[in-house]
Amino acid sequence: MDEIIEKVMEEFSEVNDLLADPGISSDPTKMTSLSKKRSSLEPVVEQISLYRQKKKSMRENAELINADVEDELKELATQENITLSSEIPMIEKKLEILLLPKDPSDDKDIIVEIRGGAGGDESSLFAASLFRMYSKFAETKNWRVEIVSQSTTDVGGFKEVIFSVSAGSSAEPVYTFLKHESGVHRVQRVPETEKQGRIHTSTATVAVLPEAQDVDLHIDAKDLRIDTFASSGPGGQSVNTTMSAVRITHIPTGTVVSCQDGKSQHKNKDQAMKVLRSRILQKQQEERDKEMGDTRKSQVGTGDRSEKIRTYNIPQDRLTDHRIKMNWSGVENILAGDLGEVIDALREEEVKILMQKQSQSSVDKAN
């Protein structure tokens, strides 16, 4: 552990030196990236400092106990070391968790894609409910939500909604909290239009993509086809006579992204490129994981958008996450953004899986 601690402290010192460099301060992108890196390292450094302080106190007390001093001082040093000997293992455990290998995307902002699935109009309404849930949860974290594109239905739901969630000035990174939300979400409830009170089951799919930057993935301009067209509203009617909507096709992969929610063509193009870059990077990562035969090995579940991950049973007031086999009551509150307990449980499960892998790796090396 001491070797890992030294590397963390060296990295923290290097990040601080870079942030103090006048040449870096003129580059907002690098400044933001380094600031996020420092924020992610600070809790680890604080725990390391506490760990070192306790170990130092224990050594000083041991020297005092063996020194030619009054018995009363020796007794005080002995009692303090008894206390420290119970505190240090707990600190080491916290530190062990903080030093686990991190998902390289944990500090990234995200692109979220929600689509109505089985269940007709009710599925589109459920997609809208999920969008509100994540938007409200983002508010509690002081994150910024921005719709990239949306396709609405006559009943006020979403066939599809794509939006970005960014940390902004918040110290809490987005992807690390929401990365386990990808998959099929199922709701069981009585639709408002159902007069006979029958419970209806519908689904919506959620895909959470870490937002890719230029440094993560270079896309050659010659590989893109960019089309512009007039924005349209529900039912296809024209709502904008200017050619502000943008459709970008990445020719090598056939990936297509459209954006028409912004009022300017320039903004729509920027938003579409964000989604395009993130989709391509995600696809590349999935292909690499498949080749390794251990898809998303550090995550809960497969992360596949076709995997049924959660059921929201409204009549029974029960939310079930099928991956960790846990239930919660207060479904309406959860759909209103009170998602903290569910996300904490998923993050704890991820830590447990990582610790098991770390432990197994240590056993394998020993053998």
pLDDT tens-digit series, residues 168-180: 878 788 999 999 9
CA angle, 282 then 322 then 309, to 5°: 30
CATH code, residues 2-98? 1.20.58
Contact predicate 110/164, CB 8 Å: yes
Contact predicate 281/105, CB 8 Å: no
Question: pLDDT band at residue 297, thresholds of 50, 70 and 90?
Answer: very low
Strand order in the sheet with 200-210: 144-152, 158-166, 110-116, 200-210, 183-189, 308-313, 318-321, 326-328
Query: Among 346, 345, 341, 344, which Cα is nearest to 301's?
Result: 346
Domain boundaries, the chain: 2-98, 110-352
More confident residue, 355 or 252: 252
**Residue 295's pLDDT is what?**
41
Show the tokens assigned to 117.
């699935």
DSSP 285-354: HHHHHHHHT-TTTTSSS---TTSEEEEEETTTTEEEETTTTEEES-HHHHHTT--HHHHHHHHHHHHHHH
**Residue 236's pLDDT is what?**
44
More confident residue, 99 or 66: 66
pTM of the model: 0.72
Contact predicate 318/329, CB 8 Å: yes
The string of pLDDT tens digits covering residues 254-279 is 999 988 877 788 888 888 888 998 98
Looking at residues 132-138, what average pLDDT do you find? 97
CATH code, residues 110-352? 3.30.70.1660
Report percent pLDDT > 90 for the chain: 51
Contact predicate 163/148, CB 8 Å: yes
Average pLDDT, the chain: 86
Range in 189-193, 248-252, 351-355 the model is least confident about: 189-193
pLDDT at 68 over 70: yes
pLDDT at 164 over 60: yes
**Residue 237's pLDDT is what?**
45
Looking at residues 135-140, what average pLDDT do you find? 96
Paired with 160 in beta bridges are: 115, 151
pLDDT at 26 over 90: no
Distance CA 7, CA 67 (A): 35
pLDDT at 301 over 80: no
Distance CA 150, CA 244 (A): 15
**Residue 75's pLDDT is what?**
94
Intrachain domains 2-98 and 110-352 with the same fold: no
Looking at residues 301-318, what average pLDDT do you find? 82
Contacts of 174 (CB under 8 A, 6+ apart): 108, 109, 110, 141, 143, 165, 166, 167
More confident residue, 319 or 26: 319
**Residue 289's pLDDT is what?**
66
**Residue 62's pLDDT is what?**
95
Looking at residues 333-360, what average pLDDT do you find? 89
DSSP 209-261: EEPPPTTT----GGGEEEEEE--B-GGG-B--SS--EEEEEETTTTEEEEE--
More confident residue, 239 or 187: 187
**Residue 32's pLDDT is what?**
82
pLDDT at 363 over 70: no
Question: pLDDT band at residue 197, thresholds of 50, 70 and 90?
Answer: confident
pLDDT at 290 over 80: no
The string of pLDDT tens digits covering residues 207-225 is 999 988 765 677 888 999 9
pLDDT at 343 over 70: yes
Report percent pLDDT > 70 for the chain: 87
